[in-house]
Amino acid sequence: MQVASGARFYPLDPRPEEIQIEDVAHALGHLCRFAGHTSSFYTVAQHSVLVSRICEPQDALWGLLHDASEAYLGDMVRPLKRQPEMASYQEAEERLMAAICERFGLPAAMPESVVRADEIILATEARDLMGSETLERWSSLQGIEPLSERVVPWVPGTGARLFLRRFREVAG
């Protein structure tokens, strides 16, 4: 595929040295969460920044990049992604995340604080962007307390810029 920078990238045969943070930021800043089924446009870039802000500080880069594979594979809703029929997608995502981890010097396994932060942000997004009844219906969110602050979607174009800013803050 051609990425935003004009380079070629092979998502099914990812090479760590070909992963550029600017391409990741650009794509995630243009990609809507929940396959677009939100009350207003809400980017994967904003989601990633929020996760990186609430996980443990030492895991902030992992939190920011936890969905970086979606820059190349697209965002697939969690219930669909976890179906047996999506095994080839899951394998491609695992290979791509391994390359992303290698590229940015991250441990292979997602830290528990990132997993937890992702769930908290998901619960907050469900409440604020999909209706309060959504939070009650999603059994996977039982016992997960959303943030007290509300998610207010950034205007288009802001996600990539703030994603890159956060990257510079946490990448050292």
DSSP 36-63: G-SSS--BHHHHHHHHHHHS-GGGHHHH
The yes-or-no verdict on residue 122 having pLDDT over 90 is: yes
Higher pLDDT, 139 or 45: 45
Going from N- to C-terminal start, the domains of the chain cover 16-170
pLDDT at 160: 97
pLDDT at 103: 98
Query: Which of these ranges, 52-56, 100-104, 112-116, 140-144, has the smallest mean pLDDT?
Result: 140-144
- Residue 134, amino acid: T
The yes-or-no verdict on residue 55 having pLDDT over 80 is: yes
Cβ 44 vs Cβ 30: under 8 Å: no
- Residue 133, amino acid: E
Q: Under CATH, to which class is 16-170 assigned?
A: mainly alpha
Return the closest-CA partner of residue 77 out of 138, 35, 29, 133: 35
What's the whole-number mean pLDDT along residues 22-32? 97
- Tell me the average pLDDT of the chain: 94
Query: Which of these ranges, 12-26, 99-113, 126-140, has the smallest mean pLDDT?
Result: 126-140
The yes-or-no verdict on residue 132 having pLDDT over 70 is: no
pLDDT at 106: 98
